[in-house]
């Protein structure tokens, strides 16, 4: 097998036309360099260099090898330089899967902070459902995910709790309540996200844990639509507090759902055994820093 060090030794001799000059360029002794070239010739079973007292000349086989060796060594050096740049966070690309509510509410600040620290690193933010997040991280199509716990197949690092509220119109008498419980909630005309969403799954489990069944009056796919329907006076909408803030409906207010509290854990999702790149690791540091700040500010619960 041809080693890179022997190939690099031969290429240096071919380029400089001298063992002495080549040895100086590589920072090795002339006898050591000569031994490497001789070993390469023995491995190939070919004479690569005509040795004279004044200079060295390549044989026909040596000329052909030199042309190929230059390309190989150039590619290797380019790869090494690229990887070194990524290690220093001077370049790179990160793919992150994130549920839409967190992508829209928390990730703008996270991306702005990271871009100020590492402007040459590109982030591909994929906002999608929890199920799609799980599948993408499992297939290693995303470095990591940010969202609810997707299940036992993946690793989950809890960062905060996203508590649910009941969205209602500010003019509604319910808006003055400090909280609302599940039994009373079940009697209201509710507008809920459709089955298949993580929000709906959390709500269904919450109702079931209290011996109740969630029977919404209307079902929608997006929290923006839910907010618009509540603002129009068509019912009440249970959803995460972060999602309520994103509806953009100034007429709405969120009443906490308590006794017991309805909430979902949110955090970092990774694939077992997956070793993150330096860029992805640095982004996760910013994610954790941001979550600590929003928890401290009271935007989400700890």
Over its length of 302 residues, how does the chain's per-residue pLDDT go in tens digits?
A: 678 888 888 888 888 888 888 888 888 888 888 888 888 888 888 888 887 766 788 888 888 888 888 888 777 776 766 666 555 555 688 999 999 989 998 999 999 999 999 888 889 999 999 999 999 999 999 999 999 998 899 999 999 999 999 999 999 999 999 999 999 999 999 999 998 888 999 999 999 999 999 999 999 999 899 999 999 999 999 999 989 988 888 899 999 999 999 999 999 999 999 888 888 999 999 999 999 998 887 777 66
| Burial status of residue 19 (CB atoms within 10 A of its CB: 0-12, 13-18, 19 or more) | buried
Long-range contacts of 39-47 (CB under 8 A, 24+ apart): 39/6, 40/2, 40/6, 40/7, 40/9, 40/10, 43/1, 43/2, 43/6, 44/2
pTM strictly above 0.75: no
- The domains located in the chain, with CATH, are 4-87 (1.10.10.10), 90-302 (3.40.190.290)
> pLDDT (tens digit, 9 = 90+) per residue, 54-79?
678 888 888 888 888 888 877 777 67
* Selection from 20, 25, 18 nearest residue 56 by Cα: 18
CA distances from 260 to 8, 33, 182 (A): 69, 76, 8
Pairing of strands 191-193, 218-220: parallel
């Amino acid at each position: 097998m041809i080693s890179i060090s022997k190939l690099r030794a031969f290429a240096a001799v071919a380029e400089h036309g001298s063992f002495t000059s080549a040895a100086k360029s590589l920072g090795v002794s002339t006898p050591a360099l000569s031994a490497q070239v001789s070993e390469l010739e023995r491995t190939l079973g070919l004479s690569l260099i005509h040795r004279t007292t004044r200079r060295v000349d390549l044989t026909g086989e040596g000329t052909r090898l030199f042309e190929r060796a230059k390309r190989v060594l150039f590619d290797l050096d380019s790869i090494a330089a690229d990887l070194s740049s990524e290690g220093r966070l001077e370049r790179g690309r990160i793919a992150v899967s994130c549920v839409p509510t967190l992508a829209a509410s928390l990730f703008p600040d996270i991306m702005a902070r990271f871009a100020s620290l590492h402007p040459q690193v590109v982030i591909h933010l994929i906002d999608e459902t929890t199920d799609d997040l799980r599948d993408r991280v499992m297939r290693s199509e995303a470095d990591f995910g940010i969202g609810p716990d997707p299940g036992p197949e993946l690793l989950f690092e809890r960062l905060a709790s996203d508590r649910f509220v009941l969205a209602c119109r500010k003019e509604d008498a319910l808006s003055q309540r400090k909280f609302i419980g599940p039994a009373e909630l079940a009697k209201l005309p509710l507008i809920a996200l459709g089955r298949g969403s993580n929000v709906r799954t959390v709500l269904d489990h919450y109702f079931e844990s209290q011996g109740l069944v969630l029977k919404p009056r209307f079902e929608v796919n997006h929290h923006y639509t839910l907010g618009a329907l509540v603002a129009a006076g068509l019912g009440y909408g249970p959803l995460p507090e972060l999602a309520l803030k994103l509806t953009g409906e100034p007429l709405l207010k969120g009443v906490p759902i308590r006794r017991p509290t309805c909430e979902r854990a949110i955090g970092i999702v990774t694939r077992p055994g997956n070793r993150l790149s330096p860029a992805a690791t640095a982004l996760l540091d910013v994610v954790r820093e941001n979550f600590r700040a929003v928890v401290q500010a009271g935007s989400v619960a700890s």
